Structure formats: structure tokens, C-alpha cells
Amino acid sequence: MSQAAESAQCVSDAIIDIATLRSLWGAPSVRILDCRHDLAQPDLGWQQYRQGRIPGAVFAHLDRDLSGKKTGFNGRHPLPRPEELVARLRSWGIDTTSRVVAYDASQGCYAARAWWLLRWLGHANVAVLDGGWPAWIAAGCPTSQAEAPTSTGSFEPRPALAAVAPVETVAESSRNAGQAGAKLLIDARAPDRYEGRSETIDPVAGHIPGAINRFWKQNLSSDGRFKPPAQLRTEYETLLLDRTPQEVIVHCGSGVIACHDLLAMHLAGLQGAALYPGSWSEWIAEPSRPVRRGPAP
């Protein structure tokens, strides 16, 4: 298969445009997840969902549905227990054969978390709505306040399609940054947070030593949709140099927006990078772990 064909296939299975979703809307096999969220106002997404949603969508709350229990040492949005996530997916009527579409109002940064989690459970037929809720509204598409029909799905987990990197691997890669065999650490946060110039969420500013910065919004065009796959590939290959995606670990503040970078890499045909779920908020929970401030060297 040619590189262009591979890229086209990646687009078709990882993002979906408004027209395609409208053509599929109402099909029994399609399940839609509303992932709207605001870190500063955790209940805002639920309020917005109640005011209006894509018809048939169920609400997936970042804190309650797409994250697990916090211990104080595993980050702000630890991964949910697989069996609990499976139960939640079934409660939303998701089957093993369902085509799942996730959307938000934040350029895909929360919907990408749902996309990654489903792939973590081995479900390949999941996509993010390109442009999300704002694009749906701008296109004049129908909305609803009606409760989504309830049913119990038959979802079963399968071998993971997404990789996870534990903190020990991240620490080793940080210590050996730049040396042969060390994983490349990519931080998806905004540059001011990465450099430690501004921090409004976590108690410590800065980044993991050795990590480079790829702000998740760099994955988007000016209209809020993902850049073309070929452009994303060029940009990420510039970061990776001669590394394969399997030699990359992506993180952020709490393992959420890092999924946006992973989705962009998937679109670019660069699959195989791992997520560090605990990310910066887990890293700084242990005071002995080193912190660096300033731009990347």
C-alpha cells in the first residue's frame, strides 16, 4: 500500500467529517459520545449536553467516565480500570461491532481521550468528529435535548491497539535523553506551561527533563480541524528524526490532551507511540523526580 493510501486509510478510521456523520446518523451500529468538558468548570460539559447535543449522543464525563480513581500519586486523570470502562461502554449501548464517534467543543482534545481509551481496549472502529460541536452547529445540523435511547451493549475488550508507558520507563528515558535506546518524550502542553513560565493547574511548573514540546494545537488548521495527514507526517518526522513511533512517549498535564498528539500521529501514519497516562501531574507527585524549566535545549 502506498504512503498516500495508508494516510487516507488512517483518516477514514480515526476522524470523521460532518457530512459523513450525518449520512450515518441514526444507523443502529453508530454510537455517539459527547465529551464536552472544561477543566476549570468540570460540570460545564454536562450542562451544555443537557441544553443541546447531537441527537442520540450519550454524555461521557472526563472525570467520572473517562478517568479512574485518584490516589494523589497517579495524576489528575488516571486511566480507568479496564473492567469499569467496559461496563460503562456497555451501559452506553456500545457493542463490539459498533462504530463509535466522539466529539467535544474543544477542538478534539477531550474526544481524543475517548478515542484513545477505546483503542486501548482493542476497539478500532472509533473516530473523532473533525471540528466537533462548533462545526456541527455551523453546518446547521439538527440538535436534541431528548434522552438518548438506553440499551445494554455487548462490548468485549480485545488486544490493545494503544500502548502505555509507566513512569519507570519515562524516568529512564529522561535520565538517558539523547542517548541511543532512550525513548523520545513529547510534551503536548502549551509552551508557557512546558517552559514553566505559567502554571494554573498543577502545583509545580516546568517539564520532565529531556522532553521536547509539541503543543497539541499545532495539529490543527486555522479552522480548528486537523491538518492534512501529509503535513502532520512531515511535522512529526521532523521531531522524531530517525526514531520510529515505537520509540516515542507522549504526555501532557494529566494524560488527556496528549491523546490529541497521538491521534495526529495516527492520522499521519505514525502509529505505535505510547501514552504516559499520569503525565506531569503524576511526575511531580514524587518530590525527588527532577524538574526542568525553560525552553528545550
Q: Is 113 helix (H, G, I), strand (E, B) or coil?
A: helix
109 is catalytic: no
Q: How far apart are CA 10 and CA 148, in angstroms?
A: 29
pLDDT for the residue 147: 85
pLDDT for the residue 264: 98
Single out the residue of 171, 167, 185, 200 nearest to residue 296, CA to CA: 185
Q: Is 184 helix (H, G, I), strand (E, B) or coil?
A: strand
Pick the CATH number of 3-138 from 3.90.420.10, 3.90.950.10, 3.40.920.10, 3.40.250.10: 3.40.250.10
Single out the residue of 110, 113, 112, 104 nearest to residue 131, CA to CA: 104
Topology given in CATH for the domain delimited by 163-283: Oxidized Rhodanese; domain 1 (3.40.250)
Domain limits of the chain? 3-138, 163-283
Q: Is 279 left (phi over 0), alpha (psi -120 to 50) or beta?
A: left
- Long-range contacts: 201-204, Cβ < 8 Å, 24+? 201/39, 201/76, 201/253, 201/281, 202/76, 202/253, 202/280, 202/281, 202/284, 203/284, 204/284, 204/291
Fold equal for 3-138 and 163-283: yes
Single out the residue of 230, 137, 241 nearest to residue 186, CA to CA: 241
pLDDT for the residue 75: 96
pLDDT for the residue 150: 76
pLDDT for the residue 221: 97
Contacts of 135 (CB under 8 A, 6+ apart): 18, 129, 224, 225
The whole-model pTM stands at 0.94
CA distances, 161 to each of 116, 228, 229 (Å): 9, 23, 20
Q: Is 231 helix (H, G, I), strand (E, B) or coil?
A: helix
Q: How many CA atoms lie within 13 A of 104 on its CB side?
A: 22
Which strands form 274-275's sheet, in the order they lie side by side?
A: 163-164, 274-275, 248-251, 184-187, 212-213
pLDDT for the residue 297: 74
Q: How far apart are CA 190 and CA 194, in angstroms?
A: 6
Residue 281 corresponds to which cell in the numbers above? 501531574
Distance of CA 50 to the CA centre of its chain: 23
Contacts of 10 (CB under 8 A, 6+ apart): 229, 266, 267, 268, 269, 271
pLDDT for the residue 8: 34
The mean pLDDT values, 10 residues at a time, for the chain of 297 residues are 34 84 89 97 97 96 98 97 98 96 98 98 97 97 89 96 98 93 95 95 96 98 96 97 96 98 97 98 97 90
Per DSSP, what are the bridge partners of residue 99?
30
pLDDT for the residue 6: 35
Kind of pairing between the strands at 15-16 and 184-187: unpaired
